Amino acid sequence: MRVISGTAKGRSLKAVPGTSTRPTTDKVKEAIFSMIGPYFDGGQVLDLFAGTGGLGIEALSRGMDKAIFIDIEKKSIDTIQHNVQVAGLKDQVEIYRTDATRALKVLAKRAEQFQLVFLDPPYRMKGIAELISTMEEQALVDEQAVVVVEHDAKDVLDETIGGFLKQRRADYGDTAVTIYKRELDTASI
């Protein structure tokens, strides 16, 4: 695994020890960023269920200003800390060991707002729609926000979730990536 493009291009990232996480492959990561970017002009990214932190690190390398990484596993937190150090991005990150629901509550209290969100939960976990709805209800995503969900290719996610509309789905073997964007109410313009 490596950073594919941007300021940290070519830096090697280490995987989380063990088999409890499945890092996003370079091929899938490259495909994701070609669909949503490929580069950014600032903004804040949330990497929920961060694992190695590879997606958030890639977003920072490609121009995002700040990333918040959330994971419940200590091995993942240690790996993220190592990877942001190697990528030279530690001054642009916050890393927290907690569960997703609690993290969203704390981030809402802090009035954080994200332009890009990565959701890559364990494939057995259900409740993606609820997480996206919660982020929207708690004003954690701005009106231009993009949410990228990495999930089991067997799962079919909703066309709309709250104010988010599915833009694209791409399959890579047993992994699928579904991208949502905020659906702006053009009737009121």
Tens-place pLDDT, residues 131-166: 999 999 999 999 999 999 999 999 999 999 999 999
Cβ 150 vs Cβ 120: under 8 Å: yes
Choose from 67-71, 153-157, 174-178 the range with maximum mean pLDDT.
Answer: 67-71
Widest CA span of the chain, in angstroms? 51
Q: What's the confidence (pLDDT) of residue 185? A: 53
Q: Binning pLDDT at 50, 70 and 90, where does residue 189 land?
A: very low
Residue in 9, 161, 2 with CA at minimum distance from that of residue 178:
161
Beta-bridged to residue 94, according to DSSP, are: 68
* Percent of the chain clearing pLDDT 90 (strictly above): 85
* Cα atoms found within 13 Å of the Cα of residue 168, Cβ hemisphere only: 11
Q: Residue 172 has what DSSP assignment? A: E
Phi-psi region of 53 (alpha: psi -120 to 50; beta: other; left: phi over 0): left
Summarised one tens digit per residue, pLDDT across range 35-63 is 998 999 999 999 999 999 999 999 999 99
Three-class DSSP category at 12: strand
Give the pairing type, strands 160-161 and 164-172. Answer: antiparallel
Q: Give all domains of the chain, ordered by start, each with its CATH number.
A: 26-188 (3.40.50.150)
| DSSP per residue, 87-134 | TT-GGGEEEEES-HHHHHHHHHHTT--EEEEEE---TT---HHHHHHH
CB 172 within 8 A of CB 143: no
Confidence grade of residue 24 (pLDDT, cut at 50, 70, 90): confident
